[in-house]
């Protein structure tokens, strides 16, 4: 059984490509259905910094082509393509990458908590769609286990920043202390909740939360504070805000240059900081060229990522040791998975011979009681199991292709029937 990963992330692809490939929660079920047209077993992991397709099957070349075809279907329109930006990893290297992702080692903010939940949600969605086979389920479950161990046994996530908190940091860098500042948050999901929470802790005096549905904005502010507003109130809110942070999972731009220019006319030259941490982006890039508007996006977090990583080098070393330990467990399990059809074929062949010979013997004996027949049945099964115990253990421990081929030929087995 082969595992193949095809993906793009913030290290390999520019923002324009990543946002094309981004798949939010609302589109995940539909996207899995599209992936099924390319390959039968697959999991999609899409976050603000990556879109990765994990697939399993018998032929790695077929998996690779399917993953590339699906990823290209996301990014190929409009002259933007993933062809020059993707990476491909296979088998244990693909699993290792996922384990590192779940542990926050591949994140822009090293040790972030959010990614662990996103890995679990990706598997859950694939299982619901019937696309996660035994290998994908085990690899993703192992990644979640590795991620939990990293956070419990190392300090990799101690005082870790989130993308949302870094967005507030960027606003503070631009404006100084945030006490008595006014903020508009567009987006009422988890990222929006974290933005509001951090902003309140920093002393932002008025926080307005806008969402496509007023109900979501109202539910968020009820938990963490702020004032819910409708999208129809954006002109007034933009005119009043010092800081705008956008994190809505919208498939289209929510703030355009014309809209911001009108708001700036009302502001009489007062500067505004707009930080777009959504993927796809919520703000047209042209907004950044408007006078007195400072526009930042998720790629502007790079310098903070570097300093964050530098400060966690010791913890990263310990975390990577845990990843290697968990990968050894996965590799041992994977080896048994590879020989499982052969073991099943061997057991089935032995049971076929045992059953045939037992029936021949019983026919030659005097009529036996039910208890006597059960005793003979149990004895013959015990003999077969004891004879096969050591060969099966050897297969599971040393079952590479050559050993498997030899056993298959020796006993004339057809393992394909038992897959």
Query: What is the per-residue pLDDT across 216-251, written as a single tens digit (0 to 9) for each?
Result: 899 988 888 889 999 999 999 999 999 999 999 888
Regions in the chain scoring below 50 on pLDDT: none
pTM higher than the cut 0.75: yes
Q: Decide: 167 and 185 in contact? Cβ < 8 Å.
A: no
Q: Where in the chain is the domain with CATH 3.30.460.30?
A: 2-156
pLDDT at residue number 190: 87
- CATH level 2 (architecture), domain 163-302: 3-Layer(aba) Sandwich (3.40)
Residues belonging to the active site:
48
Report the Cα 188 to chain-centroid distance in Å: 21
Q: Where in the chain is the domain with CATH 3.40.50.720?
A: 163-302
The model's pLDDT over 177-207, given as tens digits with 9 standing for 90+, comes to 999 899 999 999 888 998 999 999 888 989 9
Q: What is the CATH number of domain 2-156?
A: 3.30.460.30
pLDDT at residue number 4: 97
């Amino acid at each position: 059984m082969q595992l193949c990963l095809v993906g793009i992330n913030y290290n390999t692809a520019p923002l324009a490509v990543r946002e094309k490939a981004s798949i939010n929660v609302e589109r995940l079920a539909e996207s899995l259905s599209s992936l099924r047209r390319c390959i039968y077993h697959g999991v999609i992991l899409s976050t603000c910094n990556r879109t990765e397709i994990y697939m399993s099957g018998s032929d790695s070349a077929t998996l690779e082509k399917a993953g590339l075809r699906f990823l290209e279907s996301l990014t190929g329109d409009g002259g933007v393509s993933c062809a020059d930006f993707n990476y491909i990893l296979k088998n244990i290297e693909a699993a290792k990458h996922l384990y590192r992702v779940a542990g926050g080692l591949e994140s822009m903010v090293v040790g972030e908590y959010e990614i662990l939940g996103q890995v679990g949600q990706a598997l859950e969605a694939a299982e619901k769609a019937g696309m996660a086979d035994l290998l994908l389920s085990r690899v993703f479950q192992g990644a979640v286990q590795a991620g939990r161990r990293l956070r419990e046994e190392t300090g990799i996530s101690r005082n870790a920043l989130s993308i949302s908190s870094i967005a507030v940091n960027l606003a503070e860098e631009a404006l100084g202390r945030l006490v008595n500042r006014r903020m508009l948050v567009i987006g009422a999901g988890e990222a929006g909740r974290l933005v509001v929470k951090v902003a309140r802790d920093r002393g932002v005096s008025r926080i307005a939360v806008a969402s496509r549905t007023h109900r979501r904005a109202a539910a968020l502010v009820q938990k963490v504070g702020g004032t819910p507003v409708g999208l129809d109130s954006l002109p007034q809110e933009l005119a009043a805000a010092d800081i705008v942070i956008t994190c809505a999972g919208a498939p289209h731009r929510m703030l355009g240059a014309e809209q911001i220019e009108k708001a700036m006319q009302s502001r009489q030259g007062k500067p505004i900081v707009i930080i777009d941490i959504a993927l796809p982006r919520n703000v047209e890039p042209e907004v950044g060229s408007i006078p007195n508007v400072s526009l930042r996006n998720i790629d502007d977090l790079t310098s903070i990522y570097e300093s964050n990583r530098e400060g966690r080098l010791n913890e990263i070393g310990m975390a990577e040791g845990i990843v290697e330990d968990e990968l050894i467990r996965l590799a041992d399990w994977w080896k048994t998975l590879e020989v499982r059809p052969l073991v099943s074929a061997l057991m089935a062949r032995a049971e076929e011979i045992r059953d045939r010979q037992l029936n021949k013997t019983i026919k030659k004996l005097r009529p036996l009681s039910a208890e006597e027949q059960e005793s003979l049945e149990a004895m013959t099964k015990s003999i077969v199991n004891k004879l096969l115990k050591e060969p099966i253990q050897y297969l599971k421990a040393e079952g590479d292709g050559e050993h498997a081929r030899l056993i298959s030929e020796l006993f004339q087995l057809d393992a394909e029937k038992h897959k």
